[in-house]
Structure formats: structure tokens, C-alpha cells
Structure 1
Amino acid sequence: MDFSLGEELEAVRDLAREILTDHTVPERLRAVERSTDRVDMRLWEDLASAGLIAAVLPERDGGAGLGTAGACVLLEEQGRRVAPVPLWPALTGALALAAHGDGELRAEVLPGLAEGRVRLTVALEEFGPADPLAPHTVAVQDGPGWRLSGVKAAVPSPGGARHVLVTAATSRGPGLFLVDAEADGVGWEYAETTTYDRAGHLTLDGARGRAVGAVGGDAAASLVRDASLALAAVQVGVAEGALAHAAAHLRGREQFGRPLATFQAVQHQLADCYIDIEAMRVTLWHAVDALAEPFDPVAADRAAQVAKWWACEAGLTTVHRVQHVHGGIGVDTDYPVHRHFLWGKQIAGTLGGPGAGLERLGTLLTAEEATA
């Protein structure tokens, strides 16, 4: 299997790295973390004006057709710099609309999103151990539209978002619905998160929603799968960025007249981090490759769960190790590496932690065995 990126994806990576590096100096990150919405809007606009958001969209919607692979390349770079922009919900939402939305929905949302004028977020999680594809939020048909009721937890970066993609249960199975973020019947309770992102708990009380794709079809499952891959991609970048901080720190600090990097116990710690990151990368790109034609949804779901488990388990272990080798300054909340620790910890619990991922993977494998 060839995991090389190719010229187009390398161009996305290099351009994203340049823009993100310019915007994510520590002083700027601190300023964004103290702002109202916790989003670096200038960085968001620069990414959009460079065509990096549009790049993931199909050509029919004005994009470059790079899809999930393009999104993952961009998200890895974001994670490496822990850049405070809501890319993963926007990109996965855009991919869901592009793949399953009708022409009217795509024309209404995607051009503004590609240009950076419109923001989109996704509401997938709920309070308690609910599976994203077995939501307690319900949708009931009301004429040509739908009415949604329920509560969604920790919706990422809702401040300034015009639309929300919501998963909800219906009599036909899980469905995906586009809801106006400020419509009647929509209520928000803002909440602090581990990464300083200002999330929101979303209450829906008969709010109007428009179905994305066939209700009970595969739109909801596709969004959850893409969200899992997006989070895994961010986590690869977060872990790599943390490891780079550790290497620089250990080269520059001395003990007993020797650089800390020459101590075998420290080398072993960082070698374990490197191996875990490579495993995260391989499982991520295997899962991206599983989306190619001929498409097998069962194999794609299985690969996505494997990638998400590695991102949760190995990603969290890596940022823990890196913080540990930094000693006392590793727990300083103003020291750069601490942001990687916070991001790694939050990503590891988003859409369920490692245990939930193993349970879902076990369910998939059992179902395959039963049908074999």
C-alpha cells in the first residue's frame, strides 16, 4: 500500500504549514484563548482565501476534489500547531453536505463555507454513553420538513456558526439534518472545554431541520466516520508537534554535564512516542484508503474505528510522555507543550474514548463474523 501523498496533497500540506506557522506564535494563541469565541478568525479567513477549505469539496461545488484525504492533510498541520480554528467540524460537515445534500442545500451552504464567509459545525455527541449513531435526539416529519427535539452535548465552536448538522433518531433509522443555529426552538448553553474551545450544549425543542440525504440512509454514518478520521488526523499532528517540543527541550537542557537527550531512559520514552505516532499515521491513511472505490462501507467503518482507537490510546499516551519528560515546566499552562497535552486529552474523549471505540469495533467484527 502506497502512503505517499502525491503532488496535490503535498501542496496542501506545504501551504497549510506555512500559513499555520505564521499565525500560531505563542502570543497570538494566548490572545485567541482570551477572546469571546476562542476562534482565530484572521487565520480562518486566510485558510479560506488560500483555497484550503474549498480544496476538500468536489469540483461540482467549486472545489479541488481532494475529499477526506485533503481534509486529513490540512488537519494534521492544524494539530501540529494546535491552531484555534474549527476545521474538523467544518470540513466533515462540508464533506457530508457535498456527498449527500441536494443541489439547493449545497448551493446555500458550500460556497460561503469555501470562501470563509459561513461557518458550519456538527452536533454528534450527547450526555451519557450514547453511541453517535444511536442518538436520543429525535426527528419527526412535519410536512416537507422535520422537527427535532433533544439535547446535544459539547457542540464544537458554535459561536459564529450559521448552521449545525445534527444526528437524530427517526422511525426509519438515524438521520442527518441541517438546522439554523439561531432558529426558533434552538437554545445554547456555552461551556468551557479542555482545549479552551468555547463549546455549546444544544437544546432542540421542535426546531425545524432539513434532511441531508435519505432519512435512514448512510448520511449520518458517513459523517460520523469522517469525523472519526478527522479527529485521528488532528491527533497525529498534535502528537508530532508534542514530540518536536520534547526533542528540542531535551537537546537544550543539560544534567550532570550532558544533554538530557543523551540519557537512555529518555531516549526510550521518545522512541515509544515515535512508534506510536507512526502506528497512528498508518492506521489513519489505511482508513482513508478504505474510502476509495470499490467502496465497502463495512471495511471503511472498521478501518475508521481502528484509526480512531489508535488516536485515542496512543495519542493520549504520547502527550502524557512528552509532558513528563519536560519535568516541572510541562505542567505550566502557559508553556507551549501544555496545549498539545490539552488537545490530545480532549480528542481522546471526543466521540467516545478508547473503550467505546473497542466496543464499536467488536460489534463490527461480530457482525461480520455472523454474516460470513
Structure 2
Amino acid sequence: MDFEYTEAQRDLSGLARALLTDWAGRHPRPEDTGFDAELWGAMAGAGLLDAALPEQAGGGGYGLLEQCSVLIEIGRTVAPAPYATSIAVVAAALAEFGDHSQVRRRLRPMLRGESTLAPALARDVASFEAERGEQGWRVRGSHSVVAAGAFADGYLIEARSGADSVLLLVDREVEGVTVTRQHAVNGTDAALLELDTVLIPWADAISAPEAPAWARRRAALAVCAHQLGVLERSLEMTAEYARTRQQFDKPIGAFQAVRQRLADAYIDVEAVRLTLWQAAWRESHGLAAESEIDVAKFWASEAGHRVAHTAVHVHASTGIYLDYPMQRYFTAAKRAEFESGTATAHLRGLGLALDVPV
């Protein structure tokens, strides 16, 4: 298992860092909508949206590891780009399981930066129920806090039909679909998605039985990769602050308590990095990775909580000052702590895999 970046990962992460750092320098306080059309278009124009997808789907021939590399860079700038949802989950699922028509109608516009689709995948229980009809699936139900759902042009939903799950594509403007913007901890990109007996034709169904579980795994990995970028940059900013902030005529980083907090944060960030790449490597090579993803998301949640609080505590009141960037990293880390399952939920998954009562 080799965690060194491939040449493609180095190229894509370098391109993403240059583009996103330039954008962040020109937008020190972006709006909280979670989406910047100018940035999304620039990423599409630079080839960042389609590079990490298979060639047969119109991509550059790369995959999950390259997607994670891009997501880390997005996390480092907390940029309002829905790559973790639209590309790493929906576009990747369409590239893996979609038919020619779905790739042409749904995937290609996303890769050109013309549209975004948000996933609404099952959590502990399914949010949507689907019934077979003559013309397609009839779906009802609701899903709260759909990430990037407030501005999405459509959705990839997971619906329960008896004992099985199915992935379905639905447009925002279809009759019976209601989208209500919600304010999450770090912005207003989330939405309450409600479907009132909506007819979804057969052409918009992904029939592969393994697709729902595959999409949930990819969603969890995307959150872990984004969280690594958030925490990595948070620690860098905090260490720099500890070197320059003076108290009692010496840098606060000279005090043992501060050094210990920063050392613990460093260990936590490296744990997130190690577990992410172990899980992503196994998933990318078609190996069983459910337990490794549970471990990675546990660390992204638990370590994310600790590092975020350490960063704010060391910065003191500056850490929550709205004109200082640290508060954006803190809220991003707190949101990632709960997205795609909490630490407890993933520990339960590990317990089931180990046959331990939970």
C-alpha cells in the first residue's frame, strides 16, 4: 500500500491549489451560499471537474485517489465549490453505473460546469419510499440538510423499495418536488428536499443493486478528504499564530500547554491523513473497504472536533472573529464532523463488522 501521490495526483492538487489560493486571495469573505458560479466555471475550464473520472464517461481517465487530492485542496481554502457532492458522488456514480443516455444528459453538463446535482442518500433509515408503476417509480418522502441542495439543478436520491434500495435522478423543477433552503452551521447551501408522489421515469433510475452502498462509501470518503484539507490548513494557521502572538514578552507557542495542544493536533491530523488514504486506496482497488471507511470517518469526526477546538482556543477571541478566517475553518470542521455519519454511527458499523454487540 503506497500513500505517495501519483504524478496525476501531484498535477491535479498543484493545479487546484494554485487556482483556489488565487480565488481565496480575491475573496477573503465569500458569501455563505456554498456556491460561486465564477469559481465553478474556472474549475471546469481548468479541467478539474472532469479529470478524475473515467475516459468512457468523458473524463481524464483518473479516479478516486485524484478526487481526494482535489478535495483536500478545496478544504484548505474552504472554497464554495460543490465538488464533494456533485463530482465525487453524483458524477462518479453516473460514470460507474449510468447508461449512455444518463451520461449524456446528466453527467456531461456537470463536467462542463453547467449544472450541479446533489446526493440525498439514506442515513440510518431511508428518507424516501419508492413504488413501481407502469411508467417508472413513484417516490414520496423527505430528506433534511441535503448538502449543496439549495442551489442544485437536480438530485440523486436513494429510495427504499421493499427490502431493496435504488438510486434515482430527479430534477428540481419536476411537479411534486419542493426544495426549502436551510441554514447549516457554516452556510445556507443545505436544503430540505420533499417529494410528494413524484413520478421518476425508468430512464432516470440507476438499476445496479450495488450502486446505493457504493455512493454512500464515496460520500463518506469525500467528507474525510475535505476534512483533511480543513484541518491541515487550520493547524498551519494556528502554529503560525502561536509563533507570532506575544504574551508575557514571549511567543505563546513557547508555553508548554500550547505546545502540547498543537502536538496533539498534529497527531490527529496525521491520523486523519493515514486512515483516509488507507480507505481510499482499498476502495480504488476494488477491495473491501467498509471497515476502513468507518475508521477514516471516525477519525475525521473525532479528530476534526479536537483540532477545530484547539485552533479556536489557541487563537482565543480572534478565532471566532468574523473578519478572521479561522471561524470559517472551525464551522466547516464541525459540519464535517456530522456529515455522512457521526463518529458513533461509524463505530457501530465497526462493531457490526467485528460481531461486537452495539
TM range (shorter): over 0.9
Match of 2:236 in 1: 244
Question: Aligned runs of 1:148-187 on 2, under 5 Å?
Answer: 148-187=139-178
Write out per-residue CA displacement over residues 38-90 of structure 1, whole angstroms, 9 at most, x where no aligned residue: 41111111111111110121101111222111111111001111111111111
The percentage of aligned residue pairs carrying the same residue is 37
Measure how far apart 1:106 and its partner are: 1.0
Code of the residue aligned with 1:135 in structure 2: it is A
Q: 1:273 aligns with which of 265, 283, 302?
A: 265
Measure how far apart 1:207 and its partner are: 1.4
SS in 1 for 2:235: helix
Q: Distance in 1 between matches of 2:155 and 2:8?
A: 30
Write out per-residue CA displacement over residues 192-232 of structure 1, whole angstroms, 9 at most, x where no aligned residue: 11111321100001113321133xx1111000000000000
Q: 1:336 aligns with which of 325, 344, 352?
A: 325
Q: Is the 8 A contact 1:119 1:163 kept in 2?
A: yes
Q: Distance in 1 between matches of 2:138 and 2:66?
A: 34
Q: Any unmatched runs of 5+ in structure 1? A: none
Q: Which moved more, 1:147-156 or 1:226-235?
A: 147-156
Q: Is the 8 A contact 2:150 2:180 kept in 1?
A: no
Q: Distance in 2 between matches of 1:249 and 1:354?
A: 29
Match of 1:85 in 2: 81
Measure how far apart 1:352 and its partner are: 2.3
Q: Is the 8 A contact 2:35 2:80 kept in 1?
A: yes
Q: Distance in 2 between matches of 1:222 and 1:66?
A: 18
Measure how far apart 1:172 and its partner are: 4.7
Match of 1:13 in 2: 13
Q: Any unmatched runs of 5+ in structure 2? A: none
Match of 2:281 in 1: 289
Q: Distance in 1 between matches of 2:126 and 2:175?
A: 21
Structure 1 residues 309, 42: CA separation in 2 closer, same or farther (over 3 Å shift)? same
Q: Is the 8 A contact 2:65 2:284 kept in 1?
A: no
Q: 1:200 aligns with which of 175, 185, 191?
A: 191
| Displacement over 4 Å in runs of 4+ | none
Q: Distance in 2 between matches of 1:265 and 1:163?
A: 49
Q: Distance in 1 between matches of 2:95 and 2:271?
A: 30
Write out per-residue CA displacement over residues 137-195 of structure 1, whole angstroms, 9 at most, x where no aligned residue: 11111224211100011112224422200011012511111111111110011111111
Q: Distance in 1 between matches of 2:284 and 2:246?
A: 49
Measure how far apart 1:313 and its partner are: 0.6
Q: Distance in 2 between matches of 1:334 and 1:140?
A: 50
Q: Distance in 2 between matches of 1:292 and 1:18?
A: 26
| TM superposition score normalised by structure 1 | 0.91
Q: Is the 8 A contact 1:29 1:84 kept in 2?
A: no
Q: Distance in 2 between matches of 1:348 and 1:318?
A: 11
Q: Distance in 2 between matches of 1:310 and 1:219?
A: 25
Let me know the Cα RMSD of the aligned residues: 1.7
SS in 2 for 1:352: coil
- Aligned residue pair count: 353
Q: Distance in 1 between matches of 2:14 and 2:235?
A: 20
